[in-house]
Amino acid sequence: MRNAYLPKSRELSNKLRMWWFLSWFAWCNLTFSVSAELIGLNYYESTLSRELSLEENNHDSLLLPFNKTRIPGSIESEQIQEFLASHFTALNGNWSIESDVFEENGFTFTNMVFSLGNAESPLILAAHYDSKILPEGFIGGMDSAAPCAILLYIAKFVDTILQKDEFLLDPLLLDRFSGLKIVFFDGEEAINQWAADDSIYGARHLASKWET
């Protein structure tokens, strides 16, 4: 008679094992999600207001250095290029730095490309760092100083996460992309009048370069 109950006992035991495994798996995923979210929230709370601030004499600000004109080929533009390079050089990850320098329409343009990981199928984030020539003194806070500062902030956050545990990044990102490229385009603004051949100089040049 005892043998008659063995199959059911084994079936129950297998169900209990499966239930335990699924519970453990769900708990691990929940713990992983909560850990990643807490790390992100802690990072934002401790850095966001300081690093994206326009407070004077704030040496941690990623936005303040852009608070100037950034006309292609100007001294101010070169200062921004140096600031971008120094930011990525100071990070912990093995970021590569590429300067794409070219001349067109009487101006010298410099795209800045910062890469991390395998370049085979990277996620590309980009903004332009130049400002309009006219009106004179135009800084372009939203177009595009703030987006540039946000990209620097993202780079620093990703770099910090990777130092802790790369699997804290969204698995969808890890599955779809082999690396990260952050691009700062020069010459997005028109020199004279916006047209197909007088705009997005940096984006057009880099796209052409990457296609070949």
Opening angle at CA 162, ends 161 and 164, nearest 5: 65
pLDDT of 88 over the 90 cut? yes
pTM of the full structure? 0.81
Looking at residues 7-28, what average pLDDT do you find? 45
pLDDT for 173:
65
Pairing of strands 96-104, 179-185: unpaired
pLDDT of 10 over the 70 cut? no
pLDDT in tens, 38-50: 566 788 888 989 9
To 10 degrees, the CA torsion angle through 89, 91, 95, 99? -40
Most confident of 13-22, 27-36, 193-202: 193-202
pLDDT for 77:
98
Closest CA to 122 of 188, 40, 183: 183
pLDDT for 44:
85
pLDDT in tens, 151-196: 999 999 999 888 876 666 666 566 778 889 999 999 999 999 999 9
pLDDT for 172:
57
Q: Where are the alpha helices (DSSP H) in 1-145?
A: 2-51, 75-89
pLDDT of 138 over the 70 cut? yes
Mean pLDDT lowest among 28-32, 34-38, 112-116, 123-127? 28-32
User: Which strands sit side by side in the sheet containing 107-117, from one edge to the other?
Assistant: 96-104, 107-117, 179-185, 122-128
